[in-house]
Structure 1
């Protein structure tokens, strides 16, 4: 249930219209509240600037002048937004458009314009039956003028914000911060299951080895956007069965494809198969696109896409690629908590009920490094930072599997340098950085793993 709510929130958060809609409703509500105010001593309350207008016709005239100006500024703000989205799609990647659409500053500024327009329109409509010298209309005109000034300064702030938002370094920082948050949230949800699976030595079957009688099939085609593991575990516990999933969030499945199997008493299989398949269909969320909130590797690839585009011949910006590598290194530091590629969920009696694949450090490291390394095969100025990033992760690794994956990446860098870099000195520099990774990792030995390996391997202050 929690994962389903996250998916809904993710969809709403990246919708450009939801916050402006709320602002517009607030603007109309504010105008309505002002126009139905009782006869209060407004002259005494605003005595330094009262009377503001000679009569209600002046208020109507002012609103008639402000509305076209507001609509023009609102159109300008939308035009600037479209230009920024176009530049972002060309230089940073179309998958980052969602981040720009979900930017709260952009939504808020557009919302201020919408609120101001709806306020003035609502106030103008409600002035139809008022007397010529109505004090409430004076207050509505004053508030409308103040909101107009706020909208004017908001446009200036908006232009400044959008100017900064398309700078690649700023985008890398913001996407990286969001990535670290997603990694932390994902670990909070599945970290305990990863430890359980590692301690139990849990393994998963291959799809071809699953008996069709016990198979669980996908009910539709698309990406697995999220899995409600806890909810599915509770449903399986009610059936006194055990389910092994073989697919994880982020993977694409076809309708009818095997995504898991049921293990239970053979006498109950015929009855439970329909019920458990129905439960899996409700808790395994499949859609047409991947979601960043429930898919760590998708979030990693947003930064990877920035780096790969920067290394393309049309852009050729190695500095952006280097910044992406270092920011990925900071995020990969947190992925070391994922020490095993499988999760195991227990019921209240510590009986295993559900297991399934999860993203582990090896998969995340490959998702972060492979495409950048391939695109930078002839660029020693990018390969060396990749090796330095791998070296920086060594003090925090927790398992032999993590060490072996780092060593594998270092060996690939050496082979890539020998094959692609023609300048001997450049090749030697890359090899030196990669061999330093091999030398330092060879001195590491696996230690006892606790609930959170990140905390255990943090250096202690002297």
Structure 2
């Protein structure tokens, strides 16, 4: 079932799937309307007589004009899309191209123009005016005209969409929205009151002392771990009295033949006791956002790092990325991260994995930006401001400790790179909000 979900997600977000569906719909629509035209004389309806085409030559002329115009505009739309993708790739990086290809309006526009062309060809083919038969599909031609008018409006909307979709603020905002939706779907439970996040003092080795039999499952191919069905693995472990340990986190790169899952049992493994885990994970060529909460964070970090490169030197885009990441990290301070251990009803460990942690999310968001920010005081100062906002939004000591570590590293960058003494004094004053409060605690 997990593989089906991943395949369906990739299929519905591909650039060709929606256009093909629209083309198939246009073929079905053309066939249905032609059938109606053969069985109903719409020309006899008084209110429609003024707008229906009653001449075979006129019908052919209208359909030929619309079909020729639509396939020409489809080529233009495709060219505009390629230009936008080229600009986006050069400014934001090629890994963000998938975001543009996933945008539904781009898929719908391309599919609509091509499907209108196919629709007109089908209707044009059935127009008859000879000694044996006279058939003019008046309703089908009227629908073609309406579709042509709608496509003109759609072209204006598409050009407007493309013109704003490659703006840096819009790109960052879209990634931030996708990131928040993804996080809300992965982390559904929030911490309450002064409750501290759960930590485990007992090591995994202590739980495994009574499980001498070990079976290692190797990765069938190289690639990124895109999907892992944790609940299914946990249920399998309970059913067979195993302890199942996954050795990689979602988004990790796995080499073919590398240890991926370990099974621990009190008794010797047999052929009957072995489980087929192939449906519980998916390995692909690239990272996806479906279960990987850090994927969108890395996309935003990439934009920020490229903006801070000497060739682009755009600190304002980097600051925009920092602001959006700050919003996400403030939200994560209230989230209950999943435990690395799962126990059955008898309080026996059955499943151990490497879940996301707040420290890991904070590192993913700000470590690389800090490393690239040297030489840009405005960005370093905004990083410290981000730490202050995150520090003020959490009441949990484990989160404050992680924020303090980042604040110390950011202050070190300022001390090593700031040439203006006033800028450094300002940074030191800001850092005291975090560092002195943490020392008091």
Do the structures match in fold with TM over 0.5?
Answer: yes
Asked if 1:371 corresponds to 2:372, the answer is no
| Structure 2 equivalent of residue 452 of structure 1 | none
CA contact (8 A) 1:215 1:262 kept: yes
Q: Distance between the aligned counterparts of 1:238 and 1:382, measured in 2? A: 53
425 and 203 in structure 1: CA distance in 2 versus 1, 3 angstrom threshold: same
126 and 133 in structure 1: CA distance in 2 versus 1, 3 angstrom threshold: closer
Q: Measure how far apart 1:9 and its partner are.
A: 3.2
Alignment of 1:42-61 (within 5 A): 42-45=42-45, 47=47, 49-50=49-50, 52-61=52-61
22 and 203 in structure 1: CA distance in 2 versus 1, 3 angstrom threshold: farther
51 and 169 in structure 1: CA distance in 2 versus 1, 3 angstrom threshold: closer
| Structure 2 equivalent of residue 438 of structure 1 | 435
251 and 201 in structure 1: CA distance in 2 versus 1, 3 angstrom threshold: same
| Structure 1 equivalent of residue 123 of structure 2 | 123
| Structure 1 equivalent of residue 16 of structure 2 | 17
* Aligned counterpart in structure 2 of residue 359 of structure 1, from 356, 359, 382: 356
TM-score (norm 2): 0.90
Does 126-135 or 16-25 show the bigger shift?
Answer: 126-135
| Structure 2 equivalent of residue 235 of structure 1 | 236
Alignment of 1:34-45 (within 5 A): 34-37=33-36, 39-45=39-45
CA contact (8 A) 1:56 1:132 kept: no
Moved over 6 A (4+): 129-132, 209-212
Q: Distance between the aligned counterparts of 1:20 and 1:247, measured in 2? A: 37
Q: Measure how far apart 1:213 and its partner are.
A: 4.2
Q: Measure how far apart 1:44 and its partner are.
A: 4.9
Does 146-155 or 47-56 show the bigger shift?
Answer: 47-56
CA contact (8 A) 1:165 1:171 kept: yes
Alignment of 1:65-76 (within 5 A): 65-76=65-76
CA contact (8 A) 2:294 2:361 kept: yes
Asked if 1:421 corresponds to 2:423, the answer is no
List gaps (5 residues or longer) in structure 1: 445-462
304 and 373 in structure 1: CA distance in 2 versus 1, 3 angstrom threshold: same
| Structure 1 equivalent of residue 216 of structure 2 | 215
Calculate the aligned-residue CA RMSD, in Å. 2.9
CA contact (8 A) 2:217 2:260 kept: yes
Q: Measure how far apart 1:219 and its partner are.
A: 2.5
212 and 190 in structure 1: CA distance in 2 versus 1, 3 angstrom threshold: farther
CA contact (8 A) 1:311 1:375 kept: yes
- 1:347-392 Cα shifts (integer Å, max 9, x gaps): 4655432110011110111110011111111211111111111111
CA contact (8 A) 1:225 1:285 kept: yes
| Structure 2 equivalent of residue 386 of structure 1 | 383
CA contact (8 A) 1:196 1:345 kept: no
Q: Distance between the aligned counterparts of 1:307 and 1:223, measured in 2? A: 24
Q: Distance between the aligned counterparts of 2:290 and 2:439, measured in 1? A: 36
CA contact (8 A) 1:197 1:344 kept: no
| Structure 2 equivalent of residue 453 of structure 1 | none
CA contact (8 A) 1:339 1:361 kept: no
- 1:392-450 Cα shifts (integer Å, max 9, x gaps): 11243354322111000000011111112222222222222222222344566xxxxxx
Q: Distance between the aligned counterparts of 2:190 and 2:10, measured in 1? A: 22
CA contact (8 A) 1:21 1:111 kept: yes
CA contact (8 A) 2:225 2:281 kept: yes
Q: How many residues align?
A: 433
434 and 129 in structure 1: CA distance in 2 versus 1, 3 angstrom threshold: farther
| Structure 1 equivalent of residue 274 of structure 2 | 275
378 and 331 in structure 1: CA distance in 2 versus 1, 3 angstrom threshold: same
Aligned partner of residue 100 in structure 1, secondary structure = helix
Q: Distance between the aligned counterparts of 2:160 and 2:346, measured in 1? A: 57
* Aligned counterpart in structure 1 of residue 322 of structure 2, from 322, 325, 346: 325
TM-score (norm 1): 0.86
Q: Measure how far apart 1:10 and its partner are.
A: 2.9
436 and 443 in structure 1: CA distance in 2 versus 1, 3 angstrom threshold: same
| Structure 2 equivalent of residue 400 of structure 1 | 397
CA contact (8 A) 1:221 1:255 kept: yes
Does 422-431 or 71-80 show the bigger shift?
Answer: 422-431
306 and 13 in structure 1: CA distance in 2 versus 1, 3 angstrom threshold: farther
| Structure 2 equivalent of residue 158 of structure 1 | 158
Asked if 1:289 corresponds to 2:286, the answer is yes
Does 173-182 or 287-296 show the bigger shift?
Answer: 287-296
425 and 61 in structure 1: CA distance in 2 versus 1, 3 angstrom threshold: same
| Structure 2 equivalent of residue 182 of structure 1 | 182
Q: Measure how far apart 1:5 and its partner are.
A: 4.0
138 and 132 in structure 1: CA distance in 2 versus 1, 3 angstrom threshold: farther
CA contact (8 A) 1:55 1:132 kept: no
Q: Measure how far apart 1:142 and its partner are.
A: 1.2
- 1:181-224 Cα shifts (integer Å, max 9, x gaps): 11111113999xxx999365464469xx9999443332222111
